Amino acid sequence: MVTVLTAPLSFPPLEAIKDPIITIEEGVIRNIASRRAAEIPAGARVVDFPGAVLAPGFIDIHIHGGAGYDVMQAETGAPEGFERLLAAHGVTSYLPTTVTAPIDQTLKSLEKLAKATEAAAIPGKSAGRAQPLGIHLEGPFISHAKRGVHPAENILPPSVQAFDRFWEAARGRIKMMTLAPELPGMEQLIGEARHREVRVSLGHSNADLRSARAAVEAGATHATHTFNAMRSLQHRDPGILGVVLTDSRLTADIIADGVHVDPVVIELFLRSKGPEAAVLITDAISATGMPEGRYRLGSLEVEVQGTRCFSEGRFAGSVLTLDRAVRNIMKFANWGLRDAVRLATLNPARVLGVASRKGALLAGCDADIVVLSGSGEVVKTMVRGAGI
């Protein structure tokens, strides 16, 4: 059946279309145009959203869990409740993100996540739920000095051999890897990851300027939760942040909850990277969408109080949702909804190399659509045409 969505406005997201008509068939956008330029196909089911904005579904490239579920859990598949929670907050695609753990545990988690990713690719398998696009391997190739809550005993030196074990367990489903560029052997690992089309992201790092620049030359293209678990920016020693904030070859993501990074610094980050290179993430853990209490992040126990998550006195992820991050950008930096939405849609899609089918409302893209109020509140979410 052909479905047509109408509303006063849409953000494809690089432009604004007034009175759009979005035609959907078999989970794919067939056409998008204004009412002045197109007609509603005869016999189509028409769904109108008065007063709303139609935007691409959000993409979270760094998330550890939610609704009580942790992606490092041993059981097969991602619980329905977690992916429905994501969809309720506008997220249609995500990268389940690991945390440093014993090798055997990591291998088992990667096997499980690979199966879940493959199952999600089957049409109709997980209708109305956010769907994994692959896996984000955060650690174990990170700095001891900037490990955050990642267990020190499980951090590994960079090794193509170790990466190959993870790759095999994940059946080639690793799409992004966070690593510290200052560690010996990192350039070889970056080269191997790039050969396998894995996006290398710089993070959990105490790198100086030279090491960070070398990593970019070797093929790193992104930066993980900018400012957090990174060497501080000093005016005579800019370090990794000097590269992240000034090198146009790097995109970079940030946790815009106002807790991990002060709103003033978030505004500084946005001025530096601009609407083209900034990306929003949540770094959310199993406690997201749940009451205060104790939850898991891999092998760690995390205490959640309000919007803060702690393990042994350190930040341990967040309970941020991506729709709130979008609204926070509007508040912190006085950005409009269209530019803020881009940071959660087209930009992460480009980071992952999937912009031909995700992150935009264009003919040929998956019908991953979020219906928003003018202030960025989620009204409804559609995943591959399902949910409306």
Mean pLDDT for each consecutive 10-residue tract of the chain (388 residues)? 95 93 96 90 93 98 95 73 96 97 95 92 77 96 95 96 97 98 96 97 98 98 98 96 98 97 98 98 95 89 87 87 98 97 98 97 97 97 90
Rounded-to-integer distance, Cα 363 and Cα 381, Å: 18
Q: Please name the residue that has the structure tokens 């807790």.
A: 259
* 247 tagged catalytic: no
| The pairing of beta strand 17-18 with beta strand 9-10 | antiparallel
Distance CA 61, CA 175 (A): 9
Give 56-79 pLDDT, tens digit per residue.
999 999 999 999 999 998 665 557
Instruction: Report the alpha-carbon distance of residue 338 to residue 330 in Å, rounded.
Output: 10
* DSSP per-residue codes, 319-357: ---HHHHHHHHHHHH---HHHHHHTTTHHHHHHHT-TTT
Q: ∠ CA 355-357-361 to the nearest 5 degrees?
A: 90
pTM over 0.85: yes
Q: What is the pLDDT, as a whole number, of residue 126?
A: 64
The amino acid present at 256, given as its one-letter code, is A
CA dihedral 377, 15, 63, 152 (to 10 degrees): -130
Domains and CATH numbers, the chain: 57-350 (3.20.20.140)
171: how many CB neighbours lie within 10 A of its CB?
Answer: 15
Distance of CA 25 to the CA centre of its chain: 27
Give Cα separations from 386 to 24, 126, 127 (angstroms): 10, 9, 6
Q: Which of 325, 336, 332 is closest to 264 using CA atoms? A: 332
Distance CA 266, CA 328 (A): 10
Residue 388: burial class (beta carbons within 10 Å; 0-12, 13-18, 19+): middle
Handedness of CA 239, 241, 242, 243 (dihedral sign): positive
Residue 125 confidence (pLDDT): 65
- Whether residue 78 contacts residue 71, with contact meaning beta carbons closer than 8 Å, is answered with yes
Of residues 359, 356, 379, the one with CA closest to residue 368: 359
Distance of CA 343 to the CA centre of its chain: 10
Nearest to 93 by CA among 306, 358, 373: 358
Give the separation between CA 73 and CA 148, rounded to whole angstroms.
Answer: 21
Q: Which of 60, 253, 257, 283 is catalytic?
A: 283
Contacting residues for 206 by C-beta, under 8 A, at least 6 apart: 143, 145, 146, 180, 182, 230, 231, 239, 240
The pair phi, psi for residue 223, each rounded to 5°, is: -135, 140
For residues 385 and 3, the answer to whether their CB atoms sit within 8 Å is yes
**Cβ neighbour number for residue 232 with a 10 Å cutoff:** 11
